Amino acid sequence: MDLHVGMIGLGRMGANMARRLALGGVDVIGFDPDAAARAALAGTAGCSVVEDMAALIHALPSPRIVWLMVPAGEHTEETIAALAPQLLAEDVIVDGGNAFYKDSVRRAVELSSYGIRFVDCGVSGGIWGLQEGFALMFGGSPAAARAIEPVIRLLAPSPDRGWLHCGPSGSGHFVKMIHNGVEYGMMQSLAEGFALLKGKAEFGLDVAAVAEMWRHGSVVRSWLLDLTAEFLREDVELSEIAPLVADSGEGRWTVNEAIEQGIPAPVLSLALMMRFSSQGKGDYADRLLAMMRKGFGGHKVTPIAEDKS
């Protein structure tokens, strides 16, 4: 069967997803408000780009599949609001961004009034997805899931693995939210472990060699460890990298979910707190601690000019 997909949002993930679909024989129509993003995809075999969403909808045969890879929040809300009146019953909107799952539940209900099928799809794979395939976890009605399954099978690492119809609307983004919370914890534990190895100066450990050794047969082997070993081989000191780690909404949502359910998730919570700390959000509290020590014990406070860290 001929497959046609409209891809809205041609950033790193969206453009690579479009390319992978095109390699699988899909006719991809792409749109992005950024002309440079459109131009970067325009030369790809199997992909064409249009100047606006109306042209994208016009170019797709019915029933349409329109896949969104736009930032969660306002951008997603505005894009869906603009799309909905232009689509027909049984057309499918797939939100592949990292949206909050409760927003996805609401959007599915709102779009059902138009007869439009909505799929919330968590996508993992990063910049390696084009080559290795994307992990896809999606929610929606059985009819919506059936409509996009041929597309899912092409995007996934293989047709029979790396994807899951998780359940009703919202479940895909919920599973992706928890996935990202787990990711925070795994990253934090690896980072702390390698910091301890590097800190044991008297052993003179080759941290890069340890990372490489752990990749083979160890119970902590993982893709994150593979990536860590790769960049440590190039630069074990990382002296040019600022010690600042951004956090996205999914980590916060995961911790809030743990609180709502009353389920303890200390590792995920602390991993999020460490990201806040790296952003300097703990600096004022640290200053207060220094002053408290001075107040009760007369301990020296270090002025900023003397702080060499």
272-293, pLDDT tens digit by residue? 999 999 999 999 999 999 999 9
Q: Is the pLDDT of residue 222 over 60?
A: yes
Active site residue 281: no
DSSP 27: E
Report the alpha-carbon distance of residue 185 to residue 253 in Å, rounded: 14
Q: What are phi and psi of 290, to 5 degrees?
A: -60, -40
More confident residue, 80 or 126: 80
Starting at the edge strand that comes first in sequence, how are the strands of the sheet with 117-124 ordered?
47-49, 27-31, 4-8, 65-68, 92-95, 117-124, 135-139, 163-167
259-271, pLDDT tens digit by residue? 999 999 999 999 9
Active site residue 183: yes
Question: Using 50, 70 and 90 to split pLDDT, how confident is the model at 88?
Answer: very high
53-70, pLDDT tens digit by residue? 999 999 999 999 999 999
Identify the active-site residue in 110, 132, 149, 183.
Answer: 183
22-60, pLDDT tens digit by residue? 999 999 999 999 999 999 999 899 999 999 999 999 999
Question: Using 50, 70 and 90 to split pLDDT, how confident is the model at 305?
Answer: confident
Residue 306's pLDDT is what? Answer: 57
Mean pLDDT across the chain = 95
113 near 139, Cβ under 8 Å?
A: no
Segment 108-137 mean pLDDT:
95
Question: Using 50, 70 and 90 to split pLDDT, how confident is the model at 307?
Answer: low
Report the alpha-carbon distance of residue 283 to residue 97 in Å, rounded: 32
DSSP 173: H
Residue 309's pLDDT is what? Answer: 52
Report the helix count and the strand count for the chain, using DSSP H and E.
Answer: 13, 8
pTM value surpassing 0.95: no
Report the alpha-carbon distance of residue 61 to residue 250 in Å, rounded: 34
Identify the active-site residue in 176, 192, 257, 260.
Answer: 176
Segment 228-233 mean pLDDT:
96
Radius of gyration of the chain (CA): 23
In sequence order, what are the beta bridge partners of 158?
Answer: 161
Report the alpha-carbon distance of residue 34 to residue 11 in Å, rounded: 9
Return the C-alpha torsion angle 61, 64, 69, 73, nearest 10: 140
Q: Which domains does the chain have, with CATH numbers?
A: 4-168 (3.40.50.720), 177-283 (1.10.1040.10)
